[in-house]
């Protein structure tokens, strides 16, 4: 079975500025390290990990402009905070920092009233992502908090564009929190009722945000009215998001990916 070559598309203004991946965060139990999805994925693809021999990360794309990042660089930079340790290496020994590029999502800088211009620029951005993937001979794209709707990639690469969302996305589910603010939405609901839970979903990408068919999901994370957003993010990463990502990718690679 051939190893799947995977590229991660992510927005630092979420995983870095908001979620503080790669940093220490405060919880009720004291400071805790916030391991992000990319770091967990790399560790799982290394010898002894659940994805070793199944998946290889061959590239990372950030789509940010430095002005949006509150001190983070757009690519890994010595002496600057980053979403994983800068010495993190893949199973081949190569630094993950060396696999990371910045392709700015330039369509975001255009006025929302310029619908045609934004559409053209967005398609150009997504074509740049495809070109990068082709250059790395990648099979699959994983979106981890990419903060825009994917409009073309999933059409050009059917069944090969996935998203990991830090909440349940199943339509009609009791604790479904889709959209851009799942953590705050869960806390707001916990302030109104008891027994609220959240989780994560690995799903295929389609035309609607956080809507595609699920690969694996969990609602394992309790939510409390006293939670601060960063505290809930940390609990949810450990309880749901990272396990769902790793186990879901294993299932995808073994059973769902159509190999050519």
Residue-wise pLDDT tens digits, 158-177: 999 999 999 999 999 999 99
Q: How confident is the model at residue 154 (pLDDT cuts 50, 70, 90)?
A: very high
> Backbone phi, then psi, for 215, in 5-degree steps?
-95, -45
Q: How confident is the model at residue 10 (pLDDT cuts 50, 70, 90)?
A: very high
The rounded distance, in Å, linking the Cα atoms of 165 and 245 is: 9
Question: What pLDDT does residue 66 have?
Answer: 87
Q: Check: CB of residue 245 under 8 Å from CB of residue 204.
A: no
Which residue is listed with tokens 């190569």? 94
The rounded distance, in Å, linking the Cα atoms of 214 and 244 is: 11
Q: Which of 153, 157, 152 is nearest to 119 (CA)?
A: 152
Q: Which of 148, 129, 149 is nearest to 140 (CA)?
A: 129
Average pLDDT over residues 66-77: 92
What's the pLDDT tens digit per position in 208-258? Answer: 999 999 999 999 999 999 999 999 999 999 999 999 999 999 999 999 998
Question: What pLDDT does residue 259 have?
Answer: 64
Average pLDDT over residues 59-83: 95
Cβ neighbours around 259 below 10 Å, total: 8
Question: What pLDDT does residue 116 have?
Answer: 97
Whether 157 has a pLDDT exceeding 70, the answer reads: yes
Q: Check: CB of residue 139 under 8 Å from CB of residue 6.
A: yes
What's the pLDDT tens digit per position in 96-105? Answer: 999 999 999 9
The rounded distance, in Å, linking the Cα atoms of 233 and 206 is: 25
Instruction: Give the global pTM.
Output: 0.96
What's the pLDDT tens digit per position in 113-127? Answer: 999 999 999 999 999
What's the pLDDT tens digit per position in 20-70? Answer: 999 999 998 999 999 999 999 999 999 999 999 999 999 999 999 988 998
**Is the domain 4-163+206-218+229-256 a CATH 3.40.50 member?**
yes
Question: What is the torsional sign of CA 107, 113, 115, 116?
Answer: negative
DSSP state of 258: -
Tokens encoding 197: 């839970």
Question: What pLDDT does residue 258 have?
Answer: 80
């Amino acid at each position: 079975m051939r190893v799947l070559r995977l590229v991660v598309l992510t927005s630092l203004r979420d995983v870095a500025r908001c979620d503080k991946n790669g940093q220490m965060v405060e919880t009720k139990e004291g400071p805790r390290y916030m391991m992000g999805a990319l770091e967990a994925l790399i560790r799982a693809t290394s010898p002894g990990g659940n994805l070793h021999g199944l998946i290889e990360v061959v590239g990372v794309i950030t789509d940010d402009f430095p002005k949006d990042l509150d001190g983070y660089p757009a690519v890994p930079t010595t002496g600057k905070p980053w979403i994983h340790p800068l010495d993190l290496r893949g199973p081949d020994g190569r630094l993950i920092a060396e696999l990371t590029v910045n392709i700015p999502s330039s369509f975001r800088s255009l006025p929302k009233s310029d619908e045609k211009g934004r559409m053209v620029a967005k398609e150009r951005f997504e074509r740049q992502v495809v070109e990068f993937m082709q250059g790395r001979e990648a099979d699959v794209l994983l979106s981890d908090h990419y903060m825009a709707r994917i409009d073309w990639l999933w059409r050009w690469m059917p069944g090969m564009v996935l998203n990991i969302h830090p909440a349940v996305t199943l339509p009609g589910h009791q604790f479904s929190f889709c959209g851009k603010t799942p953590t705050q939405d869960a806390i707001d609901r916990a302030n109104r009722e008891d027994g609220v839970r959240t989780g994560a979903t690995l799903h295929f990408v389609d035309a609607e945000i956080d809507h595609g068919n699920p690969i694996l999901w969990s609602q394992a994370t309790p939510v409390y009215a006293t939670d601060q957003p960063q505290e809930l993010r940390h609990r949810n990463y450990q309880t749901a998001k990272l396990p769902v990502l790793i186990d879901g990718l294993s299932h995808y690679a073994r059973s769902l990916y159509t190999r050519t």
